[in-house]
């Protein structure tokens, strides 16, 4: 098991009242080399879950283990990819130096810059090293953020709705990119999303969350072989079947 969440509970203090429990004993195992998607209705605390898995946010109770070790700070194996790429990249740094961000404190600025070229090429941004992030489109900026994460050579990639802020076509391009890189590098990924199709397209298993207080409702095997093509995958019977089942579970029409 590369990542284990063991009965993770999160409470936030409220004014005057008892603390609000937004996450209740969530347990989740992510195997090495696996792509797991966490799917849930908006506001169910998916990002909170991911931040706790990354060691960026303390748990109220329960344990997060990475490679068997309980963690209380960001572990060296994992890198977090943020939803808000424009806020996680440094606007005063060129693209190359934003990718060097991942390794400069270990390798020094010069070697980190050299090491930035390969990941930039992998995400299709060779030749854009001297641009500033704000000179690029949203999709390209998220590619820079992915290149930065790859430059750290993580075993575990934690992705927080990384494709939600780009347009639909760009999203498909980025899906293809992530599918290709993760398959080739055998990366372990935990992806948080509210997009059912994205979850099925990318993941091996999908953890379906409940509304607050959040728990894991069910874990679903996707069962579509790799390598996958993000366009063709969407026409498979298994895809459509899963899409129907998941949307049915997620939509609030039963409650309303």
Partner 1 sequence: MLLDRLRAILPGLAVLALLIAGLEAAVQAGMIRRVLMPPPSVIGATLFDLLASGEFVEPLMATLKLVFAGFAIGSLIGIVLGTAMGWWPAAFRLFEPLVELVRPVPKSALVPPLMLFLGIGFTMKVTSVALVVIFPVLLNTLQGVRGVDRVMLDAARTHGWGTAHTLWHLVLPAALPFVLAGMRISLGLALVLAVLAEMLAGEGGLGFLILDMQRSFLIRQMYAWLVILAVLGLALNGIFAALERRALHWQNRNA
Please tell me whether residue 76 binds partner 1 under the rule CB under 8 A: yes
| Tokens, residue 62 | 């329960």
Task: Identify the H or E element spanning 88.
Answer: helix 85-88
Given candidates 15, 87, 253, 254, which one binds partner 1 under the rule CB under 8 A? 87
Among 43, 91, 108, 124, binds partner 1 (CB under 8 A): 91
The residue ranges of DSSP E strands in 13-135, in sequence order, are 20-30, 35-39, 61-66, 69-70, 78-81
Shortest distance (Å) from residue 174 CB to partner 1: 19
Torsion angle of the four alpha carbons 166, 134, 157, 64, in this order, in degrees rounded to the nearest 10? -100
Tell me if residue 184 falls in helix, strand or coil: helix
Contact between 190 and partner 1 by CB under 8 A: the answer reads no
CA-wise closest residue to 22 among 57, 56, 55, 54: 57
CA separation (Å) from 67 to 31, 77, 178, 210? 10, 8, 23, 27
* Residue 255 CB, nearest approach to partner 1 (Å): 33
Residue 111 binds partner 1 (CB under 8 A): no
Which listed residue (120, 152, 190, 246) binds partner 1 by CB under 8 A?
152
User: Quick check: 78 binds partner 1 (CB under 8 A)?
Assistant: yes
Minimal distance, residue 120 CB to partner 1, in Å: 16
In the complex, the residues that contact partner 1 under the rule CB under 8 A are 51, 54-56, 73-74, 76, 78-80, 82, 84, 87-88, 90-92, 101-102, 104-106, 132, 134-135, 148, 152, 158
């Amino acid at each position: 098991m590369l990542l284990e969440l063991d009965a993770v509970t999160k409470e936030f203090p409220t004014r005057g009242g008892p603390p609000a429990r937004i996450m209740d004993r969530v347990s989740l195992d992510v195997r090495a080399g696996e792509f797991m998607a966490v799917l849930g209705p908006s506001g169910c605390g998916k990002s909170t879950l991911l931040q706790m898995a990354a060691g960026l946010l303390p748990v109220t109770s329960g344990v997060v283990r990475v490679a068997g070790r309980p963690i209380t700070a960001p572990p060296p194996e994992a890198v977090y990819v943020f939803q808000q790429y424009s806020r996680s990249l440094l606007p005063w740094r060129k693209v190359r130096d934003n990718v060097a961000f991942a390794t400069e404190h270990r390798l020094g600025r010069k070697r980190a810059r050299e090491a930035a070229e390969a990941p930039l090429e992998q995400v299709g941004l060779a030749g854009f090293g001297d641009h500033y992030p704000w000179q690029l489109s949203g999709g390209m900026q998220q590619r820079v953020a992915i290149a930065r994460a790859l430059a750290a050579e993580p075993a575990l990639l934690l992705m927080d709705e990384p494709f939600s802020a780009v347009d639909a076509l760009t999203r498909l391009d980025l899906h293809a990119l992530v599918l290709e890189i993760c398959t080739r590098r055998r990366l372990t990924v935990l992806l948080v999303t509210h997009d059912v199709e994205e979850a099925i397209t990318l993941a091996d298993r999908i953890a379906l969350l409940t509304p607050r207080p959040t728990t894991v409702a069910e874990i679903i095997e996707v069962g579509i072989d790799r390598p996958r093509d993000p366009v063709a995958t969407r026409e498979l019977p298994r895809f459509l079947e899963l899409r129907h089942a998941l949307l049915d579970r997620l939509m609030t029409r039963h409650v309303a």
